[in-house]
C-alpha cells in the first residue's frame, strides 16, 4: 500500500509531537525524514522512527534540547545540539551557513553534542537550491565497520554529500555512505525478513554473508566502500576517516574510536560538518551553473550498456522517484508497517496510513514536498 506524502509526513510529525518535541522542531524534523522517503532514501525516512523510539525510551535522546551557538564569525558557526536529535541542530547550522555564504561567498558550519539527522542530501540540496555549492558530512553513533584489514569494528557509515546548482531543473546531488550501503538498507532487509546482496556485510568472523541478521544482531560488520582489500576498500576507509576528521575533530565531538565517551559523556555526541560556497567567487553569475548543466548533459548522453537503462548522474534517480511518489504515494513494507504501528500506539497517537489511495494525495499539503 502506498500512502500520500502529506499524510506520510504528518504521521511522522504526530509521533514526534507525542514524544514532547516542540511544534516547530517536529515540523522541521518531519520535513527532513519525509524528504528522504519521498526521494527514495528509505533508510533515512520514517523507518528511523523505530530506532529513535528505542533511543528515546532508553533516555538517550532529548526532545526539547537547548541549542546554543558556541562560536560564530561572519564565515563560520559552531552549534551545540544539546544532546537532542540532530535534524534541527544541523538545520540551524546549515541555514546560518547558507545566509553567511550569500554575503561572504563562503561559510562553514560545525555541530557537536548532536545525534542522527536523517539524509545529508536534504541539507546539501538546500544550498544548491540557494545557488550555492554545498558539502555536508556527519560522524555516526553506530560502530559497525572494520577498517581495511581490521578484524573489529571501529567506524560507522560516516556519510557525506555534495550538491551543486545547475541550469537543469534539479541540482547535481551526491549523497552516500562511506560503506557499500547505508546501515538502514540492511536494517530494512531485516525488517522484511529477506536476504541482502552479497558484499553488503560480513559475519562476526569476517566472512561474506547475505543474512542481514549477521550484521544487525550477531556481531558482524558492514563493508567499507569497495567491499574488500582487493576491491579497493581503502577508499571507503579513507573517506570514512576524512568524514570523522571534519565532523568530530573539527567540532570537538566525541571520537567514534572513544565509544566509552571518556571525553564528553553526553548522549551520542556525534558531530556534523557543512560547507557552503558561492560559485560567483570565481565565475560570473550563471556561468558555473551552465557548465554543470553541460557536463551532466554530456554524461547522460553516454551510450548505455543496455537499451532502456540510460546513464544518469547523481540525483537523477531521486528526482524521478520524488515525482512518482508525489503522484502515487510512498510505500511502506509490511514488516516496517507493523513496527511503526507499535511505535504510534506506544506514543498514544492515531495511525493515519491505513485505507488510503493515491487519489487522496491531492487533498493534502503538496507544498511540503520540498523537491
User: What average pLDDT does range 68-87 have in this prediction?
Assistant: 96
Lookup result for grid cell 542530501? 121
State how many domains the chain has. Answer: 3
One domain for residues 292 and 344:
no
Q: Please, what is the Cα angle at 205 between 199 and 207, to 5 degrees?
A: 30
Strand, coil or helix: what is 298? helix
pTM of structure: 0.89
- Per-residue confidence (pLDDT) for residue 364, from 0 to 100: 39
Lookup result for grid cell 546549515? 94
**Residue 243 scores a pLDDT above 60:** yes
Q: Distance between CA 346 and CA 233 in Å, rounded?
A: 42
Write out the residue range of the structural domain in which residue 195 sits: 182-223
One domain for residues 171 and 287:
yes
Strand, coil or helix: what is 83? coil
Q: Distance between CA 186 and CA 211 in Å, rounded?
A: 9
All cell numbers assigned to 162 = 555534495
Comparing C-alpha atoms, which of 98, 62, 100 is closest to residue 81? 62
Lookup result for grid cell 507544498? 367
One domain for residues 123 and 267:
yes
Q: Distance between CA 175 and CA 32 in Å, rounded?
A: 14
Asked if 122 and 91 count as a contact pair (C-beta separation under 8 A), the reply is: no
Question: What CATH number corresponds to the domain at position 133?
Answer: 3.30.1370.60
pLDDT band at 230 (very low <50, low <70, confident <90, very high): confident
Torsion of the alpha carbons at 92, 98, 103 and 104, rounded to the nearest 10:
100
Instruction: Please compute, for residue 290, the number of CA atoms within 13 A of its CA located in the half-sphere on the CB side.
Output: 6
One domain for residues 169 and 200:
no
pLDDT tens digits along 108-135: 999 999 999 999 999 999 999 999 999 9
If one counts every other C-beta atom within 10 angstroms of the C-beta of residue 127, the result is 29
pLDDT tens digits along 284-336: 999 999 999 999 999 999 999 999 999 999 999 999 999 999 999 999 998 99
Q: Distance between CA 208 and CA 197 in Å, rounded?
A: 10
Last residue of a domain, one of 249, 278, 299: 299
One domain for residues 113 and 209:
no
Last residue of a domain, one of 276, 299, 322: 299
Q: Distance between CA 81 and CA 315 in Å, rounded?
A: 29
Question: What CATH number corresponds to the domain at position 49?
Answer: 1.10.1530.10
Q: Distance between CA 184 and CA 174 in Å, rounded?
A: 18
Amino acid at each position: 500500500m502506498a500512502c500520500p506524502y502529506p499524510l506520510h509526513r504528518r504521521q511522522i510529525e504526530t509521533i514526534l509531537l507525542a514524544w514532547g518535541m516542540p511544534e516547530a522542531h517536529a515540523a522541521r524534523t518531519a520535513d527532513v525524514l519525509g524528504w528522504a522517503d519521498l526521494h527514495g532514501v528509505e533508510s533515512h525516512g520514517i523507518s528511523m522512527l523505530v530506532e529513535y523510539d528505542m533511543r528515546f525510551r532508553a533516555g538517550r535522546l532529548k526532545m526539547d534540547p537547548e541549542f546554543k551557538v558556541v562560536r560564530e564569525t561572519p564565515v563560520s558557526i559552531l552549534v551545540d545540539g544539546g544532546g537532542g536529535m540532530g535534524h534541527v541542530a544541523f538545520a540551524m547550522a546549515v541555514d546560518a551557513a547558507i545566509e553567511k555564504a550569500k554575503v561572504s561567498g563562503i561559510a562553514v558550519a560545525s555541530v557537536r553534542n548532536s545525534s542522527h539527522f536523517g539524509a545529508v542530501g536534504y541539507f546539501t540540496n538546500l544550498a544548491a537550491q540557494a545557488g550555492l555549492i554545498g558539502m555536508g558530512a556527519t560522524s555516526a553513533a553506530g560502530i559497525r565497520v572494520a577498517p581495511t584489514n581490521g578484524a573489529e569494528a571501529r567506524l560507522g557509515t560516516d556519510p557525506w554529500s555534495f550538491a551543486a546548482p545547475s541550469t537543469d531543473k534539479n541540482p547535481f546531488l551526491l549523497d552516500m555512505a562511506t560503506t557499500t550501503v547505508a546501515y538502514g538498507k540492511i536494517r530494512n532487509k531485516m525488517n522484511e525478513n529477506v536476504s541482502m546482496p552479497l558484499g553488503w556485510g560480513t559475519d562476526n568472523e569476517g566472512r561474506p554473508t547475505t543474512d542481514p541478521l549477521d550484521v544487525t544482531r550477531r556481531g558482524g560488520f558492514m563493508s567499507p566502500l569497495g567491499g574488500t582489500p582487493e576491491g579497493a576498500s581503502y577508499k571507503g576507509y579513507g573517506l570514512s576517516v576524512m568524514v570523522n576528521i571534519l565532523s568530530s575533530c573539527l567540532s570537538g565531538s566525541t571520537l567514534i574510536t572513544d565509544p566509552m565517551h571518556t571525553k564528553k559523556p553526553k548522549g551520542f555526541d556525534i558531530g556534523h560538518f557543512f560547507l557552503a560556497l558561492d560559485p560567483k567567487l570565481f565565475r560570473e553569475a550563471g556561468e558555473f551553473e551552465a557548465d554543470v548543466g553541460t557536463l551532466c548533459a554530456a554524461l547522460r548522453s553516454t551510450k548505455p550498456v543496455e537499451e532502456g537503462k540510460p546513464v544518469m548522474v547523481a540525483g537523477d534517480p531521486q528526482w524521478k522517484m520524488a515525482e512518482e511518489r508525489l503522484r502515487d504515494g510512498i510505500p511502506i513494507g509490511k514488516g516496517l508497517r507493523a513496527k511503526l504501528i507499535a511505535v504510534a500506539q506506544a506514543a498514544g497517537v492515531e495511525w493515519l496510513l491505513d485505507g488510503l489511495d493515491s487519489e487522496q494525495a491531492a487533498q493534502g499539503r503538496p507544498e511540503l514536498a520540498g523537491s
